[in-house]
Amino acid sequence: MTIAIPHAIFLPDFLAHRAATNPDGPCWIFEGRSWSWGEAWESVRHVAGALTAAGVRRGDRVAILDKNNPAVLQVLLGGCQVGVATTVVNWRLSGDELDYVLNDCGATILFVGHQLVAQLDLVRDRLEHVRDVIVVGGEHDELEAWLAAGTPTDRQPEVTPDDICVVMYSSGTTGRPKGVQLSQHAMVEHSVNGLGDTTYVEGDMLLVAMPMFHVGGTSYALLAPVVGVPGYIISEVAATKLAGGILAGCTHIFLVPAVVAALIAAGPEAMALFSRLKGFGYGAAPMPLPVLRAAMEAWPDTEFQQVYGMTEMGGVITVLNDEAHRDAAHPERLVSAGRPVDHAEMRIVDPVSLDDVPRGGSGEVWFRTPQATSGYLGKPEATAELLTPEGWLRTGDLGRVDDDGFLFIEDRIKDMIITGGENVYSPEVERVLAEHPAVLELAVIGVPDDRWGEAVKAVVAFKPDQAVTPEELIAYARERLAAYKTPSSIDVVETLPRNPSGKILKRDLRKPYWGGRDRQV
């Protein structure tokens, strides 16, 4: 029997409903431990009480630095009860990136996974706002005692659906990440709209694999109480953990294309194991057609769903459903991003004139949706560039729409690379490489990669009589950037191409690598 979606105004309402109607049913499963709906709800109420006792108030922010763990959801939903926003910090960040995010979000309490304490210690003395650090898991776990000391607390009367509940950091076009603020109302809307036409029945189970420091990971993990099925949470994407989830009975999963490519490379046995899935969602980067076709052939009974979106809209904003995947009359739609979710309006706009382009023409993709961000934390100018006064959100992506409303993403206006589902903004990498004493000028671009979708490449010109090897420059970057942001290759040139006003022509640099391809992202 199909499970009904409960009505919700506040984000924790979904979990509260499951706890009230099915308190003993399974909610979360993680590393051998299981929480019922009732136990999960009580843990959320304890978080709310413990935050209140710690002096955290409506409008404040806390942060959690951990791999996937039910604690992320407990803290986030508990914060919702008292109007507190949670930042889920990317544990892959390097030192100076890590302290920047923690300082920028203004978190007063930091929850840290026991395996990441040493990483935190490297920047602890640079944290400006954090007054309490609570270790999660391991031999010296502090979370359980902290929770137990909290008096179970229901939603406080001053909390509103427009209160920010999540601040998720998205790489910044100016060289630093920006905190994307998402309200409870926006996340409730996303939780319902982003389901597409997927339905769930008793016995289904979500495999929560993608990192929760991404909006796609957090939003997917939050679906468990929305659709009323348990979430089997794995700490990170690893072959053995994924296989364990499938063998445990997981029926639905969301992955980035790079993981699917790795499964195909692992051989027929791995693909056969995943053929047990009832539903397979993918997104965060385009799926190379050979990879997609191989997966569809290997999993003929699995429903495929591609999603396109961005952090600034809570995640999913368009869906390509299974019917469209298998529409023999329109094979070209396999490379489309699908059609908008419910309650979302879409426009294709000339980025210069700001007029709508004719159907089939290319322009910047704009959306108006109740899922949209309230703006960037502490960055009103960047917010004004993102959101129009009429409520339209500029994606920075160029696309077109066919006669049946299917969106095709063709290129980017904004300077971003998507590698393995991770967003990398070129200025972030350029900022680091430009500090090397031998570098005169450089540009960072994305080039095609059959496994990761795109790979990060730097094109560098050195100062006269100064040079280092590409390998040395990559090592320099690796010490200062997260691994996924580090260039995998470097081309050395005498000069970089520029237009008459002096701007580096990145499109010319990218052209040799993207020639002959259907899309430029």
SS3 386: helix
Nearest CA to 94 out of 414, 437, 428 is that of: 428
Q: Where are the domains of the chain?
A: 13-193, 236-343, 344-412, 417-514
CATH superfamily name and code, 344-412: Luciferase; Domain 3 (2.30.38.10)
The structure tokens 């690796």 sit at: 478
Distance (Å, whole) CA 519 – CA 454? 12
Q: Where are the alpha helices (DSSP H) in 173-231?
A: 184-193, 215-221, 223-227
Asked whether 149 and 52 are in contact (CB, 8 A), the reply is no
pLDDT computed for residue 368 by the predictor:
97
d(Cα 303, Cα 195) in Å, to the nearest integer? 13
Distances, alpha carbon 137 to alpha carbons 26, 31, 68, 150, 492, in Å: 21, 11, 12, 18, 46
Q: CA–CA separation, 213 vs 222, rounded Å? A: 13
pTM for the structure as a whole: 0.83
Q: What is the pLDDT of residue 425?
A: 75
Q: How many residues does the chain have?
A: 521
How far is Cα 216 from Cα 230, in angstroms, rounded to an integer?
A: 18
DSSP 303: E
What CATH fold (topology level) applies to the domain 236-343? Rossmann fold (3.40.50)
Q: What is the pLDDT along the chain (521 residues), one digit of tens a residue?
A: 788 999 999 999 999 999 999 999 999 999 999 999 999 999 999 999 999 999 999 999 999 999 999 999 999 999 999 999 999 999 988 777 899 999 999 999 999 999 999 999 999 999 999 999 999 999 999 999 999 999 999 999 999 999 999 999 986 545 678 999 999 999 999 999 988 888 899 999 999 999 999 998 999 999 999 999 999 999 998 889 999 999 999 999 998 887 887 888 888 888 999 999 999 999 876 677 778 888 999 999 999 999 999 999 999 999 999 999 999 999 889 889 999 999 999 999 988 789 999 998 888 999 999 999 999 999 999 999 999 999 999 998 888 999 999 999 877 776 778 888 787 877 678 878 888 988 878 888 888 887 888 899 999 888 878 888 999 999 999 988 888 899 999 999 888 887 644 567 887 888 888 766 655 55
Tell me whether domains 13-193 and 236-343 share a fold.
yes
Beta bridge partners of 179: 169
**Class of CATH domain 13-193:** alpha beta
Backbone angles phi, psi at 215, to 5 degrees: -60, -35
Exposure string of 201-217, with b = 16+ CB inside 10 Å and e = fewer, is eeebbbbbbbbbbbbbb
- The pLDDT of residue 262: 82
Nearest CA among 315, 297, 314 for reference residue 306? 315
Residues 6+ apart with CB under 8 A from 390: 368
**SS3 of 28-94:** EEECCEEEEHHHHHHHHHHHHHHHHHCCCCCCCEEEEECCCCHHHHHHHHHHHHHCCEEEECCCCCC
How far is residue 42's CA from residue 78's CA, in Å, rounded to a whole number? 10
**Tokens at residue 112, please?**
């840290």
Residue in 279, 402, 424 with CA at minimum distance from that of residue 334: 402
3-state helix/strand/coil string of 221-258: HCHHHHHCCCEEECCCCCHHHHHHHHHCCCCEEEECHH
H or E segment and range at residue 130: none
Return d(Cα 481, Cα 280) in angstroms, integer: 32
For residue 352, give the 3-state DSSP assignment.
coil
d(Cα 137, Cα 262) in Å, to the nearest integer? 30
Q: What pLDDT score was predicted for residue 499?
A: 61
The tokens describing 109, both together, are: 């309490």
pLDDT at 516: 61
Q: Give residue 219's identity as a one-letter amino acid code.
A: S
What integer pLDDT is reported at residue 520 of this predicted model?
52
The arrangement of secondary structure in 417-514, i.e. its CATH architecture, is: 2-Layer Sandwich (3.30)
Q: How far apart are CA 405 and CA 339, in angstroms?
A: 6
Q: How far apart are the first and last CA of the chain?
A: 41
Output the pLDDT for position 501. Answer: 46
